[in-house]
Structure 1
């Protein structure tokens, strides 16, 4: 306890760090306030978007912090920017001109950011138009008659696009002048906003059960803590590959001649495989629901609309493993790493520089990705098992899946930055032994968007 109090005192005594934390908290409050401001032309008393809590829309609503189901000015949240960022990231891998732009340093990064913002506007305008159609179909009476028709569509598209761009600006300000990755923190805050209500509801329901209901609730909390510990190990897990650097004489100084380590992440793909797998699993039920609503709730298709069924979880787990390898292959380039090591006179002991080094790094990455993929698949299906055990569905979503993985990863990233600020000023870190390694360390840097 004394160590914690001393660490907090050290954090508060650093003026720059204190300002960054206060600015981050202030911008988060602005975001949460805006998530409750209803769109113009909507009567909140007649609004009913119960369907927004399920399926793909439920995932969207979770990332938006409940703004989607409340029809707020931040209803689309930060997700259009995330989609645009992922698209640009894939373009830098697949398109040579974008790959060249990425290697141009700061000027190339600015160009990519400009293209990302432009693509964000296009994606947001398209999603805003779809959201207007969704409002009209699900909660038409909530739209005030004077705002109906073309004017409501135009005003809503403009407001939602402006809201997403403002949230994007908030995220960039948190990243530049605050603490942590702003985009990730905004998503995390939206997810965490549902936790208190979920805890209260679960506690109330278990208390009303009687006959050991409170004991069951305590066991659920213990199980949740165990899962969080396992996720911390998964996020921070690395395989250290020894790298030697040849001695060089630069001026009157000797450079190199030391052994360092290349940290390869066990879970280099981050949360992206789970998001991709969830999106794929929602497609069959959604298509069938549009074409033949009666068949979506019976037989084979019911298994793909109910995430507690064994078939759903098996297929979902396999998809997570497949997408883990797929996304890791996209963001991890062993050839580039081998070339950079060769350029800096670095080599792995016993391995020839160049292609042999790239093959060696790739083989290690393939081996450590397998247990990482299986662990990620287990994390993905845990909410389904929790719901099958009669745990409240909202609270069950915190037992794994996208929600918990994002929360753990973002908290580790933020704590890592705070610890770096403390160590830079010759204070002790947040831990008495070892150092915090967030998702952005090592090969995980490519997935720091989420």
Structure 2
């Protein structure tokens, strides 16, 4: 096989390494096998429930659309009331809580920034415990809701259902961490990715049936909606890959008798630092009130509040934009530390042309980062709103629950996973060169 010396591996080299390199092939097989196992587990039903009455009851409360979108992220386990009905959602909610607390609690912030790998492992362990507590909390609420549709309702049914749902959620969390550690890509993101992809055939089939109905207005609406989705995919790829390159110059230095001249390079800052995580976290926060309805099913105030936060309502749109903006800045502050970056540049003898080292450099980096984060957050908000508005205008709602947010997750996770595969291919390339 001819190995390219370019930075980016060719498609031929990538597929050849995936087939021949034992390490990469093993990671891919583990990832695919675990994802298939999770998909099978979703269809293992929890016994003793009248599922038809349960689905009709959800539609009667007016929460069908909201739960429908949550069901997409859970891979279809909520409506089917499967063993993995909660999926990876408790772990994501726990991650939101811990990351918010990390910025507020000094001890957690010290663990993340100063304790290295041991600190990150400690935070991961705390996140697992929080995920367990959140899974128990959600399972109790779901069990109370399901008890109205149980064949033999009672405390025993609630206990068995809680035990099954929590065990399923913890297993999914373990699989996600296993994929992250020994597979390819981020395990939690891939689990959401597969859950969204699993709903595509049904949505596409409904869209094709709608286009074949003979109504010209609906046919035109389908075409417009598909064009908007294609345009969104192109825009998402450009923004996910977009970077601001800040030029830096390394100072001239002498090592022994050799003189090293000035070197020019650049400091890359991504337009969207958080990737898909800000929009996933904003999604989860909007669904938190719906979890409380399980505990207070007859509370009309809470039900009305959830309806106001349902997709399509102006309050949902406004809060969604605010949350995306908040989590974009929050993630940017976690990923990029301007003060630490300025100190590292100073230690390396590098500087930004026209900017003095020290505080002036950190202020400049922070200013650029804030502008990039704002532009990235505005794009995320537009991606979340425009296709939904087009669906309302064209009356084509076959992709309900699979909107632009899901599209952004799909494209973002696909790009991140492809980059990780390319990283393994490049490492295999250099490993082969060393052996030669």
Q: Scaled by the length of structure 1, what TM-score is found?
A: 0.80
Which segments of 5 or more consecutive residues in structure 2 lack a partner in the other structure?
1-9, 431-436
1:395 equivalent to 2:402? Answer no
Aligned twin of 1:27 = 34
Contact 1:227 1:399 in 2 (8 A): no
1:150 equivalent to 2:132? Answer no
Aligned twin of 2:107 = 97
Aligned match for 2:418, one of 403, 415, 418: 415
Equivalent pairs, count: 414
- Matched position secondary structure for 1:426: helix
Quote how far apart the aligned CAs of 1:216 are. Answer: 5.1
Query: In structure 1, how many angstroms separate the alpha carbons of the residues matched to 2:288 and 2:389?
Result: 22
The verdict on how the C-alpha distance between 1:399 and 1:82 changes in structure 2, with shifts beyond 3 A counting, is closer
Contact 1:237 1:265 in 2 (8 A): yes
The verdict on how the C-alpha distance between 1:302 and 1:116 changes in structure 2, with shifts beyond 3 A counting, is closer
Aligned twin of 2:4 = none
The verdict on how the C-alpha distance between 1:67 and 1:365 changes in structure 2, with shifts beyond 3 A counting, is same
Query: In structure 2, how many angstroms separate the alpha carbons of the residues matched to 1:153 and 1:67?
Result: 18
- Matched position secondary structure for 1:270: coil
The verdict on how the C-alpha distance between 1:49 and 1:264 changes in structure 2, with shifts beyond 3 A counting, is farther
1:37 equivalent to 2:75? Answer no
- Matched position secondary structure for 1:86: helix
Aligned twin of 1:360 = 364
Aligned match for 2:236, one of 231, 251, 254: 231
Aligned twin of 2:3 = none
1:404 equivalent to 2:407? Answer yes
Aligned twin of 1:192 = 197
The verdict on how the C-alpha distance between 1:391 and 1:417 changes in structure 2, with shifts beyond 3 A counting, is farther
Deviations, residues 29-77 of structure 1 (Å, cap 9, x unaligned) = 1000001111143344654266387455334322211111211111111
Contact 1:38 1:44 in 2 (8 A): no
Query: In structure 2, how many angstroms separate the alpha carbons of the residues matched to 1:421 and 1:357?
Result: 34
Query: In structure 2, how many angstroms separate the alpha carbons of the residues matched to 1:60 and 1:370?
Result: 27
1:260 equivalent to 2:265? Answer yes
Query: In structure 2, how many angstroms separate the alpha carbons of the residues matched to 1:269 and 1:398?
Result: 21
- Matched position secondary structure for 1:375: helix
1:18 equivalent to 2:25? Answer yes
Aligned twin of 1:74 = 84
Quote how far apart the aligned CAs of 1:120 are. Answer: 1.3
Quote how far apart the aligned CAs of 1:418 are. Answer: 1.2
Point out the more displaced range, 281-290 or 104-113.
281-290
Contact 2:45 2:83 in 1 (8 A): yes
Query: In structure 2, how many angstroms separate the alpha carbons of the residues matched to 1:425 and 1:399?
Result: 38
Query: In structure 2, how many angstroms separate the alpha carbons of the residues matched to 1:47 and 1:282?
Result: 19
- Matched position secondary structure for 1:241: strand
Query: In structure 2, how many angstroms separate the alpha carbons of the residues matched to 1:58 and 1:256?
Result: 61
Point out the more displaced range, 285-294 or 50-59.
285-294
Quote how far apart the aligned CAs of 1:335 are. Answer: 1.9
Query: In structure 2, how many angstroms separate the alpha carbons of the residues matched to 1:303 and 1:132?
Result: 22
The verdict on how the C-alpha distance between 1:322 and 1:414 changes in structure 2, with shifts beyond 3 A counting, is closer
Query: In structure 2, how many angstroms separate the alpha carbons of the residues matched to 1:223 and 1:12?
Result: 36
Which segments of 5 or more consecutive residues in structure 1 lack a partner in the other structure?
428-450
Quote how far apart the aligned CAs of 1:413 are. Answer: 0.6
The verdict on how the C-alpha distance between 1:247 and 1:274 changes in structure 2, with shifts beyond 3 A counting, is same
Deviations, residues 85-129 of structure 1 (Å, cap 9, x unaligned) = 222223332222112222212221221121111111111111111
Query: In structure 2, how many angstroms separate the alpha carbons of the residues matched to 1:320 and 1:189?
Result: 23
Contact 1:334 1:361 in 2 (8 A): yes
Aligned twin of 1:116 = 127
Q: Tell me how large the CA RMSD over aligned residues is.
A: 3.4
The verdict on how the C-alpha distance between 1:96 and 1:144 changes in structure 2, with shifts beyond 3 A counting, is same
Quote how far apart the aligned CAs of 1:201 are. Answer: 0.4
Aligned twin of 1:131 = 142
Q: Scaled by the length of structure 2, what TM-score is found?
A: 0.83
Query: In structure 2, how many angstroms separate the alpha carbons of the residues matched to 1:181 and 1:426?
Result: 23
